[in-house]
Amino acid sequence: MAAVMWVYWLLFGHFIPCQNYPDNHQIQLGRIRLIVDEFRTRVGIEERIDVAIVPDDRRLVSVCRSKDDKGVFLLSFDADFLSALDREELCAAVAHEFGHIWIFTHRPYLQTEALANRKALVLVSEQSLEKVYVKVSEFGGKQHDLSTIRAEGQERSHSRAALSPKGR
């Protein structure tokens, strides 16, 4: 346990309270934090993103604004789902949620899975996103594939263009 705390201190510059989490959760939080920090840098998201592993999240992975501080986002992982993800799938799940963060910060009125995936593809491969969608359906989530979501997104964007003045 002490070794985990020292590694965390070396990576993030501070110790973390460990009394409420088993060692594995601390390791997983550190892995996610590294991915989050890399993605924040790559896409230029300045807002702070906190990470939580929760015993049960019906959405399996989710992101929302903090209730206490609107400049902070909370990225939550269902503990069982998280433990089933390999590194590639974990990166894809985080990238998809980054798509939602981008939407929150740039187009808050336009919340779609298709747009979140388009933004995620800046960070990870299409195959990675497909893999994580398979995992989501294995855990009881809604079954999707990227081609269906992509088609829905294009249909919505064509509908909006047709309804707006001069096709804008």
Distance (Å, rounded) from C-alpha 81 to C-alpha 26?
16
Q: Under DSSP, is residue 129 helix (H, G, I), strand (E, B) or coil?
A: helix
Task: Domain 2-167: state its class.
Answer: alpha beta
**Is 32 within 8 Å of 94 (Cβ atoms)?**
yes
**Would you say residue 155 has pLDDT above 50?**
no
Residue 137 makes CB contacts below 8 A (sequence gap 6+) with 143, 144
Grade residue 108 by pLDDT with cuts at 50, 70 and 90.
low
**Would you say residue 26 has pLDDT above 70?**
yes
Distance (Å, rounded) from C-alpha 20 to C-alpha 18?
6
Rounded-to-10 torsion of CA 72, 136, 84, 8? -10
Residue 18's pLDDT is what?
Answer: 47
115-143 residue pLDDT tens: 888 888 989 999 998 998 888 888 876 66
Q: pTM of the prediction?
A: 0.66
Pick the range with the lowest mean pLDDT from 2-6, 36-40, 103-107, 153-157. Answer: 153-157
**Would you say residue 114 has pLDDT above 90?**
no
Mean pLDDT of 34-40: 95
